[in-house]
Amino acid sequence: MYQNACGAAAASAGVCVEGDRECQSLISKEPIIPAEHDYSGFDIVKATQYGAFQRVKDLIDAGYNVNQRDSETVTLLHWAAINNRKEIMRFFIDNGSEVDAVGGELDATPLHWATRQGHLDAVVLLMNAGADPTLRDAEGCSCIHLAAQFGHTALVAYFVARGVSPDLQDKGGMTPLMWSCWKVCTLDPTRLLLTLGASTKLTDSTQGNTALHWAILARNTTAISTLILQSNASLDIPNHRGDTPLSLLQNCSGSVWIGAKVGERVREAMSTKNSQSLLIRISKDKRIKWWCMVGTPFISFYVAGLILGANVLILIKLFLLVCLYIILHFMGQVFYDDRLMALLPLSIYLATKIWIYVTWVVYIMPHASIFITLVFLSSSGALWYCFLKAWLGDPGVISTNQDLQFRTIIELAERGPGGFEPSSFCSACLVKRPIRSKHCSVCNRCVARFDHHCPWVANCIGAKNHKYFLGFLACLVIMCSQMLYGTSQYWQSQCNVIPKSDGFFDILMKINHCDPWVAWVAANSVLHLAWVFMLFICQLYQILCLGMTTNERMNKGRYGHFINNSGKSPFSRTPFLNFVDFLECTCFGLVKPEVKDWMTSYDLDKSVECQPLLRHKDNFQYV
C-alpha cells in the first residue's frame, strides 16, 4: 500500500528534497484507463478509483453500504478522496459516509489521504462536511503536518485559515514550520507559515531542535536565509545536545549552501558574542550605523571636492583620493549594515543635491540673472514636491489584516486550485493580487501596478506615486541642466573662459586653475543628467509607446495576458491616450481618460482572454 511507503518517507530523517520526489514517485502513478467505456464489470472500489459515477451510484442504490470497509479498514470515501473524485465524494457524504473514518496501515482519515496528494478540492469538500483536520494518523501527524512535509502551500494556508494553529505539534513535537524547513527546499510554505505567525522558538520533544536547527541539518539554503534574514530567528537556542544554530553554522562556515548574507550575519553574531571591546559595541550600535549610512555621502562629497581643489601635485591628489576610498571601504566593512543599505543611494542623491544648492548660492547666484535664479528655484520646488511624493507617498500598497487574509484564503481555496496561482495570490502577504501588481522583495509588500523599486527614492514605484516619480525625473533633468548653464556663466565671467576661441584643453586648464570645486559639482551634475535623462526617456517610452510598467516589460513572458496578446500590452491605447490615462488628465475636458482603480482590479476586460500559466493536473491513485 502507498500509505506505508509515504508515511515512512515523511517520518524518516534524510536530506531536504524538493517536494519529496521519491515519495511523490510512489504516489503519482496514474492508472491505465481501460479502452472500453463499459464500467459494468467494475466493483465499487475500482469504479470509485476511476471516477465511474454512474456505476458507483448503481451499486449504492442496489444496497451496497457506503461505509463498508475492506480488509485494511479503508472506506470508499478514502478512495474517492485520494483520487480527487469530487462528484463521488459528494454522493458518498450525502448518503451518510463517515468523513473521519480511520483506515489503512497508517490509521489515516480521508482528509489525510487527500492532503498527502495536495487535492485542494477534496480537502475543501471534506472540511465543509465536518472533517477534523487535527486528527493524527499512526505516525502522529495531523493534516497540516502532511501538507507542510509535501510542500502543499495552498493546503497549509487553508488549514490555518480554518482555525488550525500554525504551531500545532505532532507526536514528536514537530511543527509544520519544522517539517517545511526539513523537507521542502522551495521558499513556500516556509515563508507562508512565518507570515501566518508560526513560532521560530519552539523545539521538538525528541531532539530539542528549532525550525532553524532542522533547516541547517537539511542544508536548506532557502529556509535558512528566510528564517535568519527575514524573520530574525534566534541563533542561540540550544538543542538537547547543546548545539545552537550559531555553533552549527560556525562549524560549516565557508560552505556554499550557507550563503554570503547568512555567513555575514553569523560572523557578526560571533564577533558580538566573543568581544565586548568599545569598538565592537560602537560598530554594532544601530543609531551609529544609521548616521554612518546617512552622513558618509555628505562628508565624502565635500572631502573629495577639497582634495581636488588642493594646491598640490596631481599625483598627491590621486594618492589622497585613494586614501579616501580606503577609509570609506573600511568604514563600510565596520559600520555599514546590509539591512540599511537601502538608505545609501538615497543619501548619495540627497548629498549631491544639497551641495548643488550650496554651490549655486555661493558661486552661481551672484553671477546669474534674477530670471535664471527664479527658474532654478521654481524647478527646484517642483522637484522637491515630486520627490517627497515619490519617497514618502503610498505607492499603492495592498493593505490587509489577518481576518482579511483568512477570508481571502478560504475564498480562493473554495474557488479551486487555480485561485492560488502566483499571478493571483501572494503567499508572502496572503492577499489576492490585483492585476499588474507585484510583491516587492525589498519592501516585503504587494504594490498595485508595480513598476519597480527605486533605491534613489527608497520606495516602490506603483499606481499611486508613478506620475510623481516621472515628474521627479523631469524636474531633476531640468535642475541639472540649469546647474550646468549656471556654471558655464560662472566660468565665462570669473575664469575668463571664451568658448568660441579657447580650445577644449585650454578651457579645462582655466576651469581647474579658477575653482576646482565648481568643476567637481558640474561633473556630478553631468553624471546625474546623463543617467536620469536616459531613465526618463525609458519611462516615457514604456508609458506612451508600450503601455507597460518596467516590471511588465522585463517579465512579460511570465504573464498570460501578454503571451496571449502576442507580447503586446492589453492596456495600451495610442501614445497620447496612454499618457492621458497615466496622468488621469482630462486636458480641460478635451479628452476622457480611462481611470481604473488598480488597487481593486483583479480581472482583464472581457474582450481580453487570459489563460493561467500553470494548469492543475489531477493525479490518480490505485493499488
Cβ atoms < 10 Å from Cβ of 308: 17
DSSP letters for 240-261: TTS--HHHHHHHTTT-GGG-HH
CA distance 20 to 373: 68
| Residues in contact with 442: Cβ distance below 8 Å, sequence separation at least 6, in sequence order | 342, 453, 460
Longest CA span, the chain: 109
Cell 483506515 -> residue: 103
CA distance 93 to 127: 12
Looking at the DSSP bridge assignments, the partners of residue 438 are 447
Q: Are 167 and 193 in contact (CB under 8 A)?
A: no
447 closest CA partner among 431, 466, 460, 430: 460
C-alpha separations of 419 from 221, 423, 468 in Å: 28, 9, 34
Return the exposure string of 286-295: e unless at least 16 CB atoms fall within 10 Å of the residue's CB, then b.
eeebeebbbe
Helix (H, G, I), strand (E, B) or coil at 439: strand
Alpha carbon 552 to its chain centroid, in Å, reads 16
- Please state whether the peptide bond connecting residue 422 to the residue before it is cis, i.e. omega within 30 degrees of 0: no
* Residue 21 buriedness (CB in 10 A; 0-12 / 13-18 / 19+): exposed
> Three cell numbers at 380?
527646484
CA distance 358 to 360: 5
> Three cell numbers at 201?
522558538
CA distance 417 to 104: 27
* Residue 600 buriedness (CB in 10 A; 0-12 / 13-18 / 19+): exposed
The region that residue 237 occupies, defined by phi over 0 for left and psi between -120 and 50 for alpha, beta otherwise, is beta
Q: Give the pairing of strands 431-432 and 425-426.
A: antiparallel
Q: Are 410 and 124 in contact (CB under 8 A)?
A: no
Crossing angle of helices 286-309 and 343-359, in 10° steps, is 40
Q: Are 193 and 153 in contact (CB under 8 A)?
A: no
| Residues in contact with 606: Cβ distance below 8 Å, sequence separation at least 6, in sequence order | none
Return the exposure string of 525-538: e unless at least 16 CB atoms fall within 10 Å of the residue's CB, then b.
beebbeebbebbee
Strands of 381-527, DSSP E: 425-426, 431-432, 438-440, 445-447, 452-454, 459-461
Catalytic residues, by residue number, are 454
